[in-house]
Amino acid sequence: MPLDPSYLLYPHRAYGMDQRRYDWRLPTDRPNHVWPKDARVAVMIVVPIEHHPLDPIGKPFKHPGAMVTPYPDLRHYTSRDYGNRVGVFRILRCLQAAGIKATFPINANQLDRLSPLVEAILAGGHEIAAYGLSTNHIHWGGLDPSDERDIIGRVRDIFASHALSPRTWLSPARQQSFATLDLLKEHGFDICLDWEADTVVLPMRTEHGPVLAIPLSNELDDRSLLIDRRQSEDEWADQVIEAIAYLKGEAPRSGGHVVGFTLTPYVTGQPFRIAALRRLLAILAGDPAVWMAKAGEIAEVPPA
């Protein structure tokens, strides 16, 4: 059966990228960012605050970290809850001891339930970001744009009702539709942690102006490495350190690198992982070539 000629027709086939968000470029053509105090690498720690319901909708897919066994999956539910009640406060104490500020994306539907945690995050000088409406509200291509606009608007309104106006956004499951960036900018968000097309800050085009994509490494995600891939705590910490060391070496010819990684409360906040976390944070805090920064601080540094 002959191939239909239309199969080979692709309207976006051209030199460079097949999407409109950013242009294709060689690594040597990237704009450089000069970090404060001549640091070679900016390091961003992201602590996601998420709630996983006992009966997740699972459409179009279950959020990473969602329930595993048939309802009611009390074992996994209580471990996730433990992270938001206990583990995250261990992480906060470790960050305070190291003198490091982090970015905390929070599901909007959890702000009422987690007031003491929100107060502790703000008291520690950390940044609060929007983490969508809930883990049950996934952004994807099958979501009607009007419904997605309503979800993002509800997120903005809920944060405003708590006197919070985050500029940084992380999508549940780091999943987007083709319209998400446009709608985020429309609602006042100008920083997004979903994309990792590079290890530098990448301006993304939207219908309402640029949104800055600050890379958050999925390859260094603590839940993925420690739970899914079953690596040891020291292996995880060493990989973060190695990534930073390598990019420090690249800085003289292609500076402005960012290393972002997560500290998930129900994962890294476990007592047997705190020693590895303390070791990692001490190394980062003591390295003069590393700038520990929140997402909003990174966004404020213009290209050289």
Q: Is residue 17 part of a domain?
A: no
The Cα–Cα gap between 181 and 194 comes to: 10
Task: Give me the helix-helix angle, 274-285 and 233-254, nearest 10°.
Answer: 20
Secondary structure of residue 293 in the 3-state scheme: coil
Nearest to 180 by CA among 162, 200, 194: 194
Q: How far is CA 15 from CA 19, 22, 301, in A?
A: 11, 13, 30
**What is the reported pLDDT for 26?**
85
In terms of residue numbers, what domain contains 126? 34-299
Q: Is residue 43 part of a domain?
A: yes
Alpha helices (H) along the chain: 74-82, 88-98, 115-123, 145-161, 180-186, 222-223, 233-254, 265-268, 274-285, 295-299
In the DSSP assignment, the letter for residue 4 is P
Q: Residue 40 is part of a domain; what is its CATH number?
A: 3.20.20.370
Q: What percent of the chain has pLDDT over 90?
A: 87
Give me the phi and psi of 180, to 5 degrees please: -55, -50
Q: Is residue 180 part of a domain?
A: yes
CA 74 remoteness from chain centre: 27
pTM of the model: 0.95
Which of the four pLDDT bands, split at 50, 70 and 90, describes residue 31? confident
CA angle 111, 113, 119 (to 5 degrees): 60
**What is the reported pLDDT for 218?**
96
Nearest to 244 by CA among 34, 102, 41: 41
Q: Is residue 8 part of a domain?
A: no
At 210-220, the pLDDT tens digits run 999 999 999 99
CA 150 remoteness from chain centre: 22
215-254: b (≥16 Cβ within 10 Å) or e: bbbeebbbbbbbeeeebebeebbebbbebbeebbeebeeb
Higher pLDDT, 15 or 301: 301
At 57-103, the pLDDT tens digits run 999 999 999 999 999 999 999 999 999 999 999 999 999 999 999 99
Output the CA torsion sign for 202, 205, 209, 215.
Answer: negative
**What is the reported pLDDT for 1?**
64
Q: What percent of the chain has pLDDT over 70?
A: 100
Q: Is residue 172 part of a domain?
A: yes
Which of the four pLDDT bands, split at 50, 70 and 90, describes residue 128? very high
Do 126 and 103 meet the contact criterion of CB atoms below 8 Å apart?
yes
Q: Is residue 72 part of a domain?
A: yes
Q: Is residue 109 part of a domain?
A: yes
Residue type, 193: L
Nearest to 210 by CA among 105, 301, 102, 299: 299
Q: How many structural domains are present in the chain?
A: 1
Residue type, 243: A
The Cα–Cα gap between 290 and 245 comes to: 10
Give the range among 36-50, 91-105, 152-166, 241-255 with minimum mean pLDDT.
Answer: 241-255
Contacts of 134 (CB under 8 A, 6+ apart): 51, 53, 107, 108, 109, 110, 172
Q: Is residue 167 part of a domain?
A: yes
